[in-house]
Amino acid sequence: MPVPERSWFTVREAPEEALRLLQDYRDAASPELLSTFRLAYPRVQRRIREGRAHGLLWVGPKDDGIALAIWSAVPRLGRQCFILFLSEGYRNAATFSQLLRQVESDPVGQAKGPLVLVSEEVPGLPTEIAGRVFAGRGFQRCSRPAMVRGTGHPWPSAPPLPSNARLRTVTPEDRPVVQRVNALAFRAGLSRLWFDDGDPFRSSAATLRLLEKGEWGRWIRESSWVYERSGQVLGVGLVTHASGRCPLLLSLAVLPEEQGHGIGRTLLVETLRSLHAQGEKELELNVVRENASAFALYTATGFEVVKGTERAFWLRDPGPWTEGASPGTVEAEGTDETDESS
């Protein structure tokens, strides 16, 4: 059923309707999708109440909610859409296609630039219909599974360290260089699309602040390593430990010009060795499957995809990040730290 143009509202114009539809979204979403957005929901609700949410909704006859879309404005990227929802009775390709067109064109001018990332799952809409519409509008599918390396695998080897290289644990004084290495390593890859801030340097700084605050559990500094050569840090691995779970490899980053020479593998093997010495038997991580080199490294060192964790997404990659370049004027988000990381 086509959605009339005159029936569209902004989330800011109808916050109570948006909050009601958000609750409908939660009721219709799968447990896996809710787990993915467990940190995002309070943030989305707060943004709606404060008038800072970017989004469109359509209210149908007798005030029945029909469609909802909510996104973040991301500097240098455009818009990162994370909620698309259709109510019962309107869950068809035609209505969904029109919803997506409305989001892409953004007639109310809340944010400029390309739409870069949306969930594969649209609660209330069959996955095959959503996929057909996404693909028809130029989106590509990617996935981000969790992987775990447990016992029962041969101990992986690492290349010998050059005479002018060394491994050492991360220190508080390393914060600026760790931030830089993470930013440079991810600025041109798909991984940057998972940050609320498309600027990799801001995103890396926010990640480190949240790591130090314990957002992902206790930072295991004694198993977080830097790789130095001739006094220059070329790579870094950061590990954290949430209560009730095995350690998590939060980041494994190598400077782009140094990738492909065994530095990432060396950092990973040293992380596994030090965790083993502390009595830990497993290590978990998340990786974009389409990041072929990273996925191959983890597979070769004994990591396996955890069944049921592979969350698929649709994206249109806006291209390599360039400092100072922007696809359009994008409204800045709030400055509180919880709004800076997804």
Q: Which of 333, 335, 336 is nearest to 73 (CA)?
A: 333
Same domain, 49 and 63: yes
Q: Which of 306, 182, 174 is nearest to 251 (CA)?
A: 182
Same domain, 47 and 120: yes
Q: Which of 263, 179, 203, 186 is nearest to 229 (CA)?
A: 263
Q: Is residue 280 part of a domain?
A: yes
Q: Is residue 325 part of a domain?
A: no
Q: Cα–Cα distances in Å, from 255 out to 68, 83, 219, 310, 322?
A: 40, 33, 22, 27, 16
Q: Total domain count for the chain?
A: 2
What pLDDT shows up at residue 326?
40
Check: CB of residue 157 under 8 Å from CB of residue 324.
Answer: no
Please identify which residue in the block is written with the tokens 């993470």: 182
What pLDDT shows up at residue 339?
30
How many C-beta atoms lie closer than 10 Å to residue 334's C-beta? 13
Locate 250 and state its tokens: 């939060």
> Is residue 44 helix, strand or coil?
helix
Whole domain around residue 114: which residue ranges? 5-142
Rounded (10°) angle between helices 292-300 and 263-277 = 40
What pLDDT shows up at residue 198?
61
Q: Which of 212, 119, 125, 112 is nearest to 172 (CA)?
A: 212
Same domain, 18 and 85: yes
How many C-beta atoms lie closer than 10 Å to residue 31's C-beta? 8
Check: CB of residue 44 under 8 Å from CB of residue 22.
Answer: yes
Q: Is residue 168 part of a domain?
A: yes
Same domain, 151 and 297: yes
Q: Is residue 338 part of a domain?
A: no
Check: CB of residue 149 under 8 Å from CB of residue 306.
Answer: no
CA dihedral 9→13→18→19, nearest 10 degrees, is: -170
Task: Kindly tell me the number of DSSP H helices and DSSP E strands found in the chain.
Answer: 9, 15
Residues 6+ apart with CB under 8 A from 111: 54, 71, 73, 78, 79, 330, 331
CATH number at residue 9: 3.40.630.30
Angle at 326 between CA 200 and CA 195, to 5 degrees: 30
Q: Is residue 250 part of a domain?
A: yes
Same domain, 133 and 244: no
Same domain, 128 and 239: no
Same domain, 193 and 87: no
Distance separating alpha carbons of residues 259 and 324, to the nearest angstrom: 25
- Look up the pTM and report it: 0.77
Q: Could you give phi then psi for residue 216, rounded to 5 degrees?
A: -110, 25
Same domain, 28 and 78: yes
Residues belonging to the chain: 342
Q: What is the pLDDT along the chain (342 residues), one digit of tens a residue?
A: 555 545 788 898 889 989 999 998 988 888 878 877 776 788 889 989 998 888 888 887 766 788 999 987 766 667 888 899 998 888 899 989 988 888 888 766 666 677 878 888 888 888 899 999 999 988 989 888 999 998 888 899 999 999 999 999 999 899 999 999 988 888 766 666 665 556 778 778 888 888 999 988 999 999 999 999 999 999 999 999 988 889 999 999 999 999 999 999 999 999 999 999 999 999 999 998 988 999 999 999 999 999 888 888 888 776 666 655 443 333 333 333 223 222
Distance separating alpha carbons of residues 102 and 199, to the nearest angstrom: 26
Q: Pairing state of beta strands 165-169 and 218-219?
A: unpaired
Note the helical H segments in 88-212. 93-105, 127-136, 175-186, 200-212
Same domain, 57 and 183: no
Q: Pairing state of beta strands 283-286 and 232-241?
A: unpaired
Same domain, 72 and 174: no
CA contacts within 13 A on the Cβ side of 158: 18
Same domain, 38 and 130: yes
What pLDDT shows up at residue 197?
57
Locate 321 and state its tokens: 């990040």
What pLDDT shows up at residue 193?
66
Tell me the residue type at 5.
Answer: E
Domain boundary among 76, 109, 142: 142
Locate 213 and state its tokens: 């605050």
